[in-house]
């Protein structure tokens, strides 16, 4: 499913003039099927408000633009949000705060029962088992544990199992790696890549981590003050100096190193992944040696 957003605006507390706050001021963007799409920008720029529109948690306001996702027109009053939400999984920041059932199995099953009440108990059990296995957790060992007794990384895996159990086509993650230690972070990102390869078609990631964006995202949109300043590949975004300045973003380490080497007269042409950077450096060295 492709996502097409046109001129989306959104005002919090729209009905009370003195409290009204315009959080989105005309956002247009296209997210193709198969992408790992980054949403970046400073705190308060409208990222969370934007993504909550995509599964209808926030409804498109009157005369405030349009969102079309596959066959779903979110400005249509008859839009089937329940079916939409089964196809678009959303994981909020610190999802472990939303774990609540007594057992891991109960927690993951809850989401599924919500989306697919027609499933039998046996079907639910097998879907829960598959979802936990996909996240690298052992169903038999963990199904009766309390979610609260798990480690940080395990809790986040259970949370994502609760999202993918509905078999979404699109996975939206708000700061998925926030608060994890470096090892937990790496493992969680590897899990996302595995899911993207075999399972979900499109991933949308809100992140403050520019290294993550450079390494994994096909494209990204830079939010600032309720608008998209720029949209493009990580290479396009992070080589645009005035954009970086205006948006107040950090750059990934690879972009920083490319810039430092340029100051020394070494030009590296590469995408900004670590492997791409290393290949670029090797090419530059070989050329110099000839
Ligand atoms: N429930 C709300 N009521 C009023 N203003 C809000 C609400 N949620 C967010 N905002 C404001 O809307 C703007 C965008 O917020 P948000 O979408 O959360 O940004 P981000 O995710 O980029 O940090 C911010 O200025 C924020 O203070
Ligand atoms: Mg946010």
Q: Which ligand 1 atom minimizes the distance to the CA of 50?
A: 17
Distance CA 234, CA 23 (A): 25
pLDDT, position 289: 47
In angstroms, the Cα distances linking 162 to 19, 23, 42, 82, 108 are 36, 29, 29, 16, 4
Are 232 and 219 a contacting pair, CB within 8 Å?
Answer: yes
- Atom 16 (ligand 1): residue with closest C-alpha? 46
pLDDT, position 287: 62
Report the candidate in 143, 138, 31, 127 with the shortest Cα–Cα distance to residue 88: 31
Report the candidate in 72, 52, 55, 31 with the shortest Cα–Cα distance to residue 201: 31
- Atom 24 (ligand 1): residue with closest C-alpha? 44
Q: Which ligand 1 atom minimizes the distance to the CA of 46?
A: 17
Using the mean position of ligand 2's atoms as its centre, give its distance from the Cα of residue 226 in Å.
12
Using the mean position of ligand 1's atoms as its centre, give its distance from the Cα of residue 43 in Å.
8
Q: Exposed, middle or buried: residue 108 (CB in 10 Å: 0-12, 13-18, 19+)?
A: buried
Ligand nearest to the CA of 46: 1
- Ligand 1 environment, Cβ below 6 A: 12-13, 21, 23, 41, 43-49
Q: Which stretch of DSSP H or E encloses residue 67?
A: strand 66-69
Cβ-based neighbours of 287, under 8 Å, separated by 6 or more: none
Using the mean position of ligand 1's atoms as its centre, give its distance from the Cα of residue 253 in Å.
29
Q: Do the strands 72-73 and 88-91 form a parallel or antiparallel pair, or are they unpaired?
A: unpaired
- Atom 7 (ligand 1): residue with closest C-alpha? 12
Counting ligand 1 atoms within 8 A of each CB, the residue from 23, 205, 228 with the most, and so the one to mutate, is 23
Using the mean position of ligand 1's atoms as its centre, give its distance from the Cα of residue 38 in Å.
18
- Domains in the chain with CATH codes: 3-249 (3.40.50.300), 252-290 (no CATH)
Cβ-based neighbours of 185, under 8 Å, separated by 6 or more: 177
- Atom 3 (ligand 1): residue with closest C-alpha? 12
pLDDT, position 178: 85
pLDDT tens, per residue, the chain with 290 residues: 999 999 999 999 989 989 999 999 999 999 999 999 999 999 999 999 999 999 999 999 999 999 999 999 999 989 999 889 989 999 988 887 877 788 999 999 988 888 888 999 999 999 999 999 999 898 899 989 998 888 888 888 999 999 999 999 999 999 988 888 888 888 888 899 999 988 899 999 999 999 999 999 999 999 999 999 999 999 999 999 999 999 989 999 999 999 999 999 999 999 999 999 999 999 988 865 44
Q: For 58, which DSSP code? A: S
Longest CA–CA span in the chain (Å) reads 70
pLDDT, position 198: 81
- Atom 18 (ligand 1): residue with closest C-alpha? 48
Using the mean position of ligand 2's atoms as its centre, give its distance from the Cα of residue 127 in Å.
31
- Atom 25 (ligand 1): residue with closest C-alpha? 44
């Amino acid at each position: 499913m492709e996502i097409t957003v046109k001129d989306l605006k959104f005002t919090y507390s729209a009905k009370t003039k003195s409290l009204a706050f315009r959080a989105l001021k005309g956002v247009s963007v296209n997210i193709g099927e198969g992408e790992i799409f980054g949403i970046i920008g400073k705190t308060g720029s409208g990222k969370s408000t934007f993504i909550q529109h995509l599964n209808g948690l926030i409804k498109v306001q009157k005369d405030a633009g349009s969102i079309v996702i596959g066959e779903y027109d979110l400005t249509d009053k008859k839009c089937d949000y329940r079916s939409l939400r089964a196809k678009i999984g959303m994981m909020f920041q610190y999802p472990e705060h939303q774990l609540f059932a007594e057992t891991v199995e109960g927690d993951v099953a809850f989401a599924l029962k919500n989306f697919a009440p027609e499933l039998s108990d046996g079907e639910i059990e097998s879907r829960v088992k598959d979802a936990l296995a996909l996240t690298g957790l052992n169903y038999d060992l963990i199904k009766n544990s309390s979610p609260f007794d798990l480690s940080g990384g395990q809790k986040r895996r259970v949370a994502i199992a609760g999202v993918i159990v509905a078999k979404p086509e699109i996975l939206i993650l708000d700061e998925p790696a926030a608060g994890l230690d470096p090892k937990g972070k790496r493992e969680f990102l590897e899990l996302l890549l595995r899911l993207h390869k075999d399972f979900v078609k499109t991933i949308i990631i809100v992140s403050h981590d520019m290294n993550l964006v450079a390494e994994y995202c096909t494209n990204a949109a830079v939010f600032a003050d309720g608008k998209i300043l720029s949209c493009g590949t990580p290479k396009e975004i992070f080589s645009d100096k005035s954009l970086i300045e205006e948006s107040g973003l950090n750059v990934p380490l690879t972009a920083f190193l490319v810039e430092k080497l340029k100051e020394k007269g070494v030009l590296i042409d590469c995408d900004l992944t670590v492997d791409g950077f290393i290949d670029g450096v090797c090419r530059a060295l070989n050329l110099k040696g000839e």
